[in-house]
Structure 1
Amino acid sequence: MNRAIYKGLLWLHPASFRNRFADEMLWIFDETGEQAGLRVFTDALVSLVRQWTFHSSVWRIAFGALVSCLLLAGWWHFQEAALASALGRGNPGALEEIKHRFAKGIPCGNTPASRVAAAETGHAPAEADTPCDVADGVQGIVAAFGQHPVVVIGEVHWLRPAGEFYVRLIRDRKFQETVNDIVVEFASRNNQPSLDRYIAGEDLAIEEVRHIWRDTTKVASWESPIYAEWLAAIREVNQGLPPNRRLRVLAGDTAVDWQRLQSHADWEALGDNNLSFADVIVNEVLRRRHRALVVLGINHVRKSRDRNEDATSRVESRYPGSTYVVLLDNRGLLQPAAQELVRLDRFSRNAPMLCELAGTPLGDATHLSSEADALLYLGPPETLARAFPPAGSLEPGYMKELDRRSWIEWGELRARRFLGAAAE
């Protein structure tokens, strides 16, 4: 009975194998069947599987399928890399953003942020006679991150409406989900540890917190309460976010130790802080594939190359297409004739508004489209009041140090003049 079963296994082998080896294998079974029957049966089964595998086309099909999958995966990776490169070097997340927009029917390409914001929120696009493509200020800036990892606001310092807008921006849920870092001018890099601790929610003495905005290369430039209020708002927002989604504030200004500075030559040796701003953006944001909001003075961010290199042009030279520059509207930016031409007052009831510049009457009338991508309109000129520090809010000891620093930077007591009643 066992011999018949074994012979049947041999018969199931391919004919070419049976003709060569069947008689020999049957002789081995007859000789050892009683002592090693199970092992002989196992060998026959293994041989049966192996012979049909190698003589069948199944393995060839499987191998061909594997090679095809590998080639397809390689081709897809190459296409993604080529597309990402075409979208702009140094623009992390651009490809993923295009996939997201394609799935939701949101415009892609170099679409103005205002139109993307309208598609995201379901709002109607701007009217045909509108002097620019407009969107809610917050939603427009958030939408700009879809195509650019760095959105830069060029501000006029101390404006109260600007401070209120910054707070509103960081409290927006979509902004919190999109942005990793906030780069600021009003903190020097040597104070980054204190800044990190404060933003993380640690209890710091008010004297240590004040050093963050007081010890920068620009004397007394950040005493307006809008900057301290913004940091406090970011600290508060972070308490409600998971640790991996908390906003980090990056000090952008050149490191400075005022105790070591004794002359104007010492101050000049600090160099151009545009170098520091660009270095922080490149190394702490772009190389880490983060997205960042950057807030600097307006003279640090204009994209035009017909002037000395600023922070934006330095970043663009290394990561083309990575920045989206927004100029904050102010009394000196738009001349009265231009304001009348583009009728910005019609947006007053909806301010703040983000107004695209490229290819719009606003951009053509002001010639700003060569220097920025959009204008952040906060309201009519008469509403753009500055927020001064309260009277008597600066300690006598600090005022004495400000006088010393003023002589070092300017050769005069200039800080007392622009601090107003706070310096009295």
Structure 2
Amino acid sequence: MSRRSLMTAVGVGGAAAALSGAPSADAGGRTGPFADAVVAAFGRHRLVAVGEVHGQQEHHDAMQVLLTDPRLPEVVDDIVVEFGNALYQPTIDRFVAGPAVENDKLRLVWRNTTQSPAVSLDAPCYEQFYRTVRAVNWPLPASRRIRVLLGDPPVDWSRVRSRKEVEELDRDGHMASVIKREVLAKGRRALIFYGSNHVKHAPPGAIGGGGIAQIEQQTGERAYVILAGGHPRLASAARRAVIPAAGTWLATADSGEFGYLPGECGVPFGALADALLYLGPIGEQTQSVWNPAIYLDPVFWAELQRRNHLMGDHIDLDKQYRQPQSVAWPVSSYPTC
């Protein structure tokens, strides 16, 4: 889709949402669309964190709708993401601001994270995220453009010679430092897309935890946390609805019984998050799957093999990346405690 087509669609979508009369997940605790909930949360918080379900197509579809909501640039200054190596911050700053960036340089942002080679970020949903932010920024004045902050620790794989060099990197500590330095210290507001374990609140009395828990404990700045998940009781709920925990059954529901949410049996959902994003029944979720032809590039493949050897040869690279993968979500039933 061209930039013009995308922005035209955004305008139509925004108008439709405004006319729908759908209730918002506002301070009154009502259930409503994802974008409404995020915009309302920024009225009370400087940090709104969304637990990204890695590679899930429905979650990234919801993210796309949120990113293209015309209200977002009014409430968000920065978007902090897990799926980008901070070593390439200048590259992504240039790209989302509009100037051209060659594809071979842009790909390094998501290909060279600390999670390589065990986790591939060549699934199309990740590149689409960056291109969507660029398209959203295109018609905006420089003062209103959204900046993307890459939250994965800066690692130069061309210099890595041992597994220890990667394992010693503090991923949550780096995330927290980026948000404190680039967002809070500058009086800005940030939307945060990270895996749920990194953004959930620490249970009462717990010390440490993921990046958001560390920020809350170190600065006193309370984030509004939305975790994506499914539950049998939500079968009749609207897709992409956000349901607040306060004042609902979610406050005391066992977090270990939610699908595609890394909860903990015995810990109430309301202790970990402020709201839940429902994406539909777990059996209907799908994956964003990479094109296996990507890994026929001999130079890239040799580098993945080198990394795999450094990290202990735990991955069958050929089976994982060069063989076609089903788009079906690998888990089709809800967990129980």
Name the residue aligned to 2:86: 189
Q: CA deviation at 1:123?
A: 4.7
**Superposed, which structure 2 residues align to 1:221-370 within 5 Å?**
221=119, 222-269=121-168, 271-305=169-203, 306=206, 308-329=208-229, 339-340=231-232, 343-347=233-237, 350-366=238-254, 367-370=268-271
> 1:291/1:225 Cα in 2 relative to 1: closer, same or farther (>3 Å)?
same
Q: Distance in 2 between matches of 1:370 and 1:272?
A: 24
Q: CA deviation at 1:145?
A: 0.7
With the length of structure 2 as denominator, give the TM-score of the two structures: 0.79
Task: Give 1:142's match in structure 2, choosing from 7, 15, 39.
Answer: 39
Q: CA deviation at 1:150?
A: 0.6
Task: Give 1:408's match in structure 2, choosing from 310, 325, 333.
Answer: 310
Name the residue aligned to 2:288: 387
**Superposed, which structure 2 residues align to 1:411-422 within 5 Å?**
411-419=313-321, 421=323
Q: CA deviation at 1:163?
A: 1.3
Letter in 1 for 2:277: L
Q: Is the 2:292–2:321 Cα contact (8 Å) retained in structure 1?
A: no
Q: Distance in 1 between matches of 2:253 and 2:209?
A: 25
**Superposed, which structure 2 residues align to 1:73-92 within 5 Å?**
none
Letter in 1 for 2:91: S
Q: Is the 1:388–1:420 Cα contact (8 Å) retained in structure 2?
A: no
Q: CA deviation at 1:302?
A: 1.8
Structure having the higher Rg: 1
Q: CA deviation at 1:417?
A: 4.5
Q: Distance in 2 between matches of 1:167 and 1:360?
A: 27
**Superposed, which structure 2 residues align to 1:2-13 within 5 Å?**
none
Aligned residues: 288
Q: CA deviation at 1:219?
A: 0.5
> 1:402/1:176 Cα in 2 relative to 1: closer, same or farther (>3 Å)?
same
Structure 1: unaligned runs, 5 residues or longer: 1-117, 127-131
* Secondary structure in structure 2 of the residue aligned to 1:262: coil
Name the residue aligned to 1:163: 60
Name the residue aligned to 1:74: none
Percent identical: 33
> 1:205/1:301 Cα in 2 relative to 1: closer, same or farther (>3 Å)?
same
Q: CA deviation at 1:357?
A: 1.3
Q: CA deviation at 1:177?
A: 1.2
Higher relative contact order (CA 8 A, sep 6+): 2
Q: Distance in 2 between matches of 1:175 and 1:346?
A: 28
Determine which structure has the larger helix proportion and give its number. Answer: 1
* Secondary structure in structure 1 of the residue aligned to 2:140: coil
Q: Distance in 2 between matches of 1:240 and 1:125?
A: 27
> 1:361/1:167 Cα in 2 relative to 1: closer, same or farther (>3 Å)?
same
Letter in 2 for 1:312: I
Letter in 1 for 2:200: R
Q: Distance in 2 between matches of 1:358 and 1:414?
A: 44
Moved more, 353-362 or 238-247: 353-362
Structure 2: unaligned runs, 5 residues or longer: 1-16, 255-267, 326-337
> 1:170/1:281 Cα in 2 relative to 1: closer, same or farther (>3 Å)?
same
Deviations 1:180-205 (CA, angstroms, capped at 9, x unpaired): 10001111211000111111111111
Name the residue aligned to 1:106: none
Q: Distance in 1 between matches of 2:277 and 2:160?
A: 37
Q: Does 1:205 align with 2:102?
A: yes
Deviations 1:145-165 (CA, angstroms, capped at 9, x unpaired): 111111111122000011111
Letter in 1 for 2:191: L
Q: Distance in 1 between matches of 2:52 and 2:290?
A: 18
* Secondary structure in structure 2 of the residue aligned to 1:203: coil
RMSD, aligned α-carbons: 2.4
Q: Is the 2:202–2:208 Cα contact (8 Å) retained in structure 1?
A: no
Deviations 1:292-324 (CA, angstroms, capped at 9, x unpaired): 110111121121244752101111023324311
Q: Distance in 2 between matches of 1:160 and 1:248?
A: 23
Q: Distance in 2 between matches of 1:125 and 1:209?
A: 37
With the length of structure 1 as denominator, give the TM-score of the two structures: 0.64
Letter in 2 for 1:402: L
Letter in 2 for 1:345: A
Q: Is the 2:24–2:37 Cα contact (8 Å) retained in structure 1?
A: no
Q: CA deviation at 1:414?
A: 4.5
> 1:373/1:268 Cα in 2 relative to 1: closer, same or farther (>3 Å)?
same
* Secondary structure in structure 2 of the residue aligned to 1:365: coil
Q: CA deviation at 1:170?
A: 1.2
Q: Is the 1:191–1:212 Cα contact (8 Å) retained in structure 2?
A: yes
